[in-house]
């Protein structure tokens, strides 16, 4: 689809930057591609030079013979296998139809999930809140009846504390319900987003799986060496210091393998986060075009998702790579901190453990804040075309000027959606367990097989619900930033969204004689983003030109103040 012309209504009065998007953060995009290329080259080298006798490392008789490992090594590979409770091949033959039905129903449940939040967001939100209070209360009473007074009182206290917190935050919960309804409506009006995110997930899988294969292939570069745990060989058996029988041999990878596996793991983590950034970017860009579209521009919005994809894979690929690199660094630091804490706990130093716990608490707060800003910086970059750090700085200033209910947007929507997804999926899993157990009750291990089928059905449904929940949360974030940018220019683009945040004392949205909307008692000299056309022309006092309200559920207007 050709880019809009200067006379296109998509350009006039829109805060979304359709044109003149420069290539930004280019070095980070190049750096990611270098990481990916080096990972592929190392994986190809590992496959080419692998030890073709690696499979013998899984043969107990071979690894138990000390004559097969003449070199020194320090890694043990084999462990005794646990006996099987369920005949898995037979189980999957019997459960194939059930799993296929469960997969199909999981997709239907996902659609139901969206419809619930589109048409009954308040009822769904209240139901999840009630469930989060009722569940610990029910467990508390059950624990009391079982004779565990202390545990029961603790659970009941937890339920009471949750009820008090939700009561004090009832206004924010109401806001959350309305915002989720807006998000569901936005997804309904942009159905191509679901297909795009599904395709992106599949591409990510096809990109990540080869990296897994490269990691495994690199590990096959090495040889069989003596097990470092063995201290003696007697009667053809190897024993450790406690006299226990251990394998005589172990597998030891070549010296370059650990470094490559660490490097490839970083690349794989970076890739996963990159696709997460891509999802946020494309959803935010599409929703922003929908949000800021003037009246009568619905036809021009066709292809808005593909337009955003071109921005993501073109001039702003480096922005996505940089955001993903920040998230990757945070994840690596979290893992390092967890390992350090584990070592301190094993050493048993109480003072050091306490210091590390306090440090971990502070660092987790800092990392969480950085992740929060990174997410909204990506949303902002998708709308304005700014570089990552510029978008991060501007979105921080935007949220500072318009703090609004940012904490409610951060906490309540994920809480509600995740609980609703879990409850819906758990209900389906329990139902499948009951039906399959009734059908298989005459077979051996019927209860275990039905339980396994129920768990698999639950996870399939949960994956689908979590997928739709993640898309809705990204839309919530995008709508929130669009609203903040709208308010920053003293205009009302979508009245329904502004009504959601009407609790904030920033002036009342009033209808003008011509039918458009604006804020009463506006702040003069308001901030105008650099990407806005009014910033270049100086017209309208820094406020977009007026547009007629769109009839229907949502209203569009860029009102002159």
Question: Residue 341 — pLDDT band, cuts 50, 70, 90?
Answer: confident
Q: Write the DSSP assignment of 451-477 as a string of letters.
A: HHHHHHHHHHHHHHHHHHHHHHHHHHH
Of the candidate ranges 23-32, 138-147, 324-333, 394-403, the one whose mean pLDDT is the lowest: 394-403
Tokens of 124: 């769904």
Predicted confidence (pLDDT) at residue 546 exceeds the cutoff of 60: no
Q: Could you give the angle at the alpha carbon of 274 between the alpha carbons of 326 and 395, nearest 5°?
A: 55
Predicted confidence (pLDDT) at residue 205 exceeds the cutoff of 60: yes
* Torsion, Cα of 320, 311, 478, 364 (10° steps): 0
Report the alpha-carbon distance of residue 197 to residue 210 in Å, rounded: 21
Check: pTM over 0.75? Answer yes or no: no
Closest CA to 381 of 21, 26, 33: 21
Mean per-residue pLDDT, 369-380? 91
CA 252 to chain centre: 36
Predicted confidence (pLDDT) at residue 154 exceeds the cutoff of 70: yes
Of the candidate ranges 51-65, 174-188, 400-414, the one whose mean pLDDT is the lowest: 400-414
Give, as one character, the DSSP assignment of residue 5. P
Domain boundaries, the chain: 92-119+170-187+263-485, 129-168, 489-542
Report the alpha-carbon distance of residue 389 to residue 381 in Å, rounded: 9
Predicted confidence (pLDDT) at residue 440 exceeds the cutoff of 50: yes
- Residues near 505 by Cβ (< 8 Å), separated by ≥ 6? none
Question: Residue 89 — pLDDT band, cuts 50, 70, 90?
Answer: low
Q: Is 186 exposed, middle or buried (0-12, 13-18, 19+ CB in 10 A)?
A: buried
**pLDDT tens profile 506-534:** 333 344 444 443 333 333 333 344 434 44
* Phi, psi angle pair for 472, to nearest 5°: -65, -40
**pLDDT tens profile 250-298:** 888 888 989 999 999 999 999 999 999 999 999 999 998 888 876 666 6
Q: What percent of the chain has pLDDT over 70?
A: 76
CA atoms within 13 A on the CB side of 144: 12
Report the alpha-carbon distance of residue 169 to residue 163 in Å, rounded: 10
Predicted confidence (pLDDT) at residue 332 exceeds the cutoff of 90: yes
Predicted confidence (pLDDT) at residue 365 exceeds the cutoff of 80: yes
């Amino acid at each position: 689809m050709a880019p809009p012309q200067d006379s296109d209504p998509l350009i006039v009065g829109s805060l979304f930057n359709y044109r003149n998007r420069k290539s930004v953060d280019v070095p980070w995009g190049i750096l990611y591609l270098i990481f990916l290329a080096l990972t592929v080259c190392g994986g190809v080298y590992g496959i080419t030079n692998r030890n073709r006798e690696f499979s013998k490392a899984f043969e107990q008789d071979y690894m138990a013979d000390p004559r097969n490992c003449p070199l020194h090594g320090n890694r043990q590979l084999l462990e005794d296998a646990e006996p099987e409770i369920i005949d898995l091949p037979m189980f999957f033959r019997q459960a194939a139809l059930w799993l296929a039905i469960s997969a199909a129903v999981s997709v239907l449940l996902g659609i139901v999930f969206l419809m619930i939040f589109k048409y009954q967001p308040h009822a769904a939100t209240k139901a999840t809140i009630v469930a989060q209070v009722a569940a610990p209360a029910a467990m508390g009473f059950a624990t009391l009846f079982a004779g565990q007074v202390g545990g029961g009182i603790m659970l009941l206290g937890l339920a009471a504390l949750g009820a008090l917190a939700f009561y004090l935050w009832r206004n924010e919960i109401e806001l959350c319900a309305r915002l989720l309804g807006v998000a569901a409506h936005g997804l309904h009006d942009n159905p191509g987003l679901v297909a795009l995110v599904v395709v992106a997930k599949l591409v990510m899988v096809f990109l990540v799986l080869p990296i897994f294969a490269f990691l495994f292939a690199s590990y096959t570069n090495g040889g069989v060496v003596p097990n470092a745990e063995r201290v003696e060989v007697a009667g053809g058996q190897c024993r450790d210091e406690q006299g226990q029988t251990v394998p005589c041999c172990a597998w030891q990878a070549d010296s370059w393998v650990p470094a490559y596996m660490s490097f490839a793991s970083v690349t794989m983590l970076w890739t996963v986060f990159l696709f997460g950034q891509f999802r946020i970017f494309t959803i935010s860009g599409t929703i922003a075009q929908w949000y800021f579209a003037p009246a009568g521009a619905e036809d021009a919005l066709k292809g808005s998702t593909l337009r955003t994809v071109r921005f993501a894979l073109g001039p702003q690929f480096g922005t996505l790579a940089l955001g993903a690199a920040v998230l990757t660094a945070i994840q690596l630091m979290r893992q390092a901190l967890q390992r350090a804490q584990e070592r301190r706990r094993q050493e048993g130093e109480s003072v050091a453990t306490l210091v590390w716990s306090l440090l971990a608490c502070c660092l987790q707060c800092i990392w969480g804040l950085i992740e929060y800003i990174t997410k909204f910086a990506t949303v902002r970059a998708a709308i304005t075309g700014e570089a990552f750090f510029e978008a991060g700085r501007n979105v921080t200033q935007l949220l500072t000027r318009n703090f609004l209910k940012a904490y409610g947007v951060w906490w309540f929507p994920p809480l509600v959606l995740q609980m609703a997804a879990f409850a819906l999926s758990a209900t389906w899993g329990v139902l499948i367990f009951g039906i399959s157990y009734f059908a298989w009750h005459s077979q051996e291990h019927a209860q275990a097989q039905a339980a396994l089928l129920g768990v698999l059905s639950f996870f399939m449904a949960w994956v689908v619900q979590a997928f739709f929940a993640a898309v809705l949360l990204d839309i919530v974030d995008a709508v929130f930033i669009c609203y903040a940018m709208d308010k920053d220019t003293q205009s009302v683009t979508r009245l329904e969204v502004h009504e959601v945040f009407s609790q904030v004392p920033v002036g009342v949205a009033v209808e003008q004689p011509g039918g458009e909307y604006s804020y009463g008692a506006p702040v003069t000299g308001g901030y105008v983003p650099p990407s806005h056309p009014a910033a270049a022309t100086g017209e309208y006092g820094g406020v977009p030109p007026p547009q007629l309200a769109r009839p229907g559920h949502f209203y569009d207007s860029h009102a002159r103040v």
